[in-house]
Amino acid sequence: MKLKEIYDFFVGEGIKLDLRTKSQIVSNLRSKQAEYKKLKPSLRKFFDKENFKNPFADTRILYGDPKADVERILIGIDIEIGELLLADHLSHNGKKIDLIIAHHPEGVALAGLHEVMHLQTDALHNLGVDLAIAKDLMTKRIEEVSRRLHGANHTRTVDAAKLLDIPLMCCHTPADNHVAQYLQRLVDTKKPKTLQDIVDLLLKEPEFQDAAFNKAGPQILIGKAKDKAGKVLVDMTGGTEGSKEIFARLSQIGIKTQLSMHLSEAHYERIKSEHMHVVISGHMASDNLGMNLLLDKLERKGRLEIIECSGFRRVKR
């Protein structure tokens, strides 16, 4: 397969399982085109034109010829200079790495991570939260994340990929969309009655079993094992954690339990005050599940050799 085929496939599959409606995604893409047209001609060269067709700013080809052939891929949850040197070592010892795929964004995809969070605004509105309220709360959080990321050394890993001449891409929200939809369908179908039932349901999946063996598996963060689960919301996509102010609104529309990859201390304190339950699935395990669901689809299109690293474990379904 070609590098660009893999990239385009991931974006396309991410769109299919997005929490937004088709019209919301189209509106997002059109807004980027309108934003571009309003720019002075001298500033247009700096605009990321991938935004015209890819609604996920955290998913990009970071380095490499899009037409390059790919047979063997090194995949990790986090790819940094160490993993790039590992790939270089493997290539010099008989296992040529044609492409490295990171789940978490690097380079321009990390710098643009906050842009993906607008997904959460539409997703909250689709759940029943007033659009104006969702926009107001998410705008504050998006600006906070943007400020935090702006000073980071975004290009460090990408620079190393260029020096080693190893193609590099990242796939974040498309994979997170897959795990969010997969687990939401699971809880909606199985209808777990208690918080422990949710944990037990997760532990039937190989990724969460592996995480449990490594002391990073599913756990009840707020609530007790026998507490009733009620209406469960799976919250696992949209760049990074949304506004901590939103929990009151979720409680008002009937959400009793939130199933998340992870929860910051500030978000933990706020959701606890709203008398909601929280089950944490496990960050690495959830990221593994999302990537594996995508790779299952990709491998139906062509033969690829996958080498695991940096917290990734390949599980086929």
Domain range annotation of the chain: 3-175+287-309, 178-282
The span from the CA of 251 to the CA of 249, in Å, is 5
Q: Angle formed by the axes of helices 131-150 and 118-127, to 10°?
A: 160
Give the residues of the chain that fall short of pLDDT 70. none
The span from the CA of 121 to the CA of 125, in Å, is 6
SS3 223: coil
The span from the CA of 183 to the CA of 167, in Å, is 32
Identify the CA nearest to 146 among candidates 61, 67, 240: 240
CA distances from 119 to 116, 142, 174 (A): 6, 11, 12
Identify the CA nearest to 283 among candidates 222, 225, 227, 235: 235
Q: Residue 34's pLDDT is what? A: 97
Q: What is the pLDDT of residues 130-147, one digit of tens each?
A: 999 999 999 999 999 999
Q: Are 74 and 86 in contact (CB under 8 A)?
A: yes
Q: Residue 302's pLDDT is what? A: 86
Q: Residue 2 contacts by C-beta under 8 Å, 6 or more apart in sequence?
A: 66, 67, 68, 69, 70
- CATH number for the domain formed by residue range(s) 178-282: 3.40.1390.30
Q: Residue 58's pLDDT is what? A: 98
Residue 231: phi and psi, rounded to 5, are: -75, 125
**Between β-strands 219-222 and 305-309, what pairing exists: parallel, antiparallel or unpaired?**
unpaired
Q: Residue 99's pLDDT is what? A: 98
The span from the CA of 83 to the CA of 91, in Å, is 12
**What is the chain's length?**
317
